[in-house]
């Protein structure tokens, strides 16, 4: 077992069971992303932007008036 695995195992033993389980799930998620296991099914940011481009068609996309600025005293 590598030193990082031993260190992780020791750290997980000091945590409450619920917290240790949450940490373990997060580590598994990060490892899946690093090895590409998750990357093939998850679209990239660029793919999302390209998919959404033009999806609003001709809908008006304007910010409505926000009102007047508050008048404050100079100091």
Q: Give 16-60 as a 3 state SS string.
A: CHHHHHHHHHHHHHHHHHHHCCCCCCCCCHHHHHHHHCCCCCCCC
User: CA-to-CA distance for 12 and 23, rounded, in angstroms?
Assistant: 8
pTM for the complete prediction?
A: 0.45
Going by pLDDT thresholds of 50, 70 and 90, the confidence category of residue 7 is very high
Residue 23 — very low, low, confident or very high, per pLDDT cuts 50/70/90? very high
Residue 69 forms part of a structural domain: no
On whether residue 66 sits in a domain, the answer given is: no
pLDDT digits (tens, 9 = 90+) for 33-54: 787 755 555 678 888 888 888 8
If one counts the domains in the chain, the total is 1
The answer to the question of residue 16 being in a domain is yes
Is residue 63 in some structural domain? no
Task: Report yes or no on 57 lying in a domain.
Answer: no
């Amino acid at each position: 077992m590598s030193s990082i695995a031993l260190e992780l195992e020791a750290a997980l033993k000091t945590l409450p069971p619920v917290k240790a389980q949450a940490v373990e799930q997060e580590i598994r998620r990060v490892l899946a992303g690093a090895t590409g296991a998750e990357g093939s099914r998850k679209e990239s940011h660029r793919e999302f932007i390209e998919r959404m481009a033009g999806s609003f068609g001709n809908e008006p996309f304007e910010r409505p008036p926000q009102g007047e600025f508050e008048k404050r005293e100079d100091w």
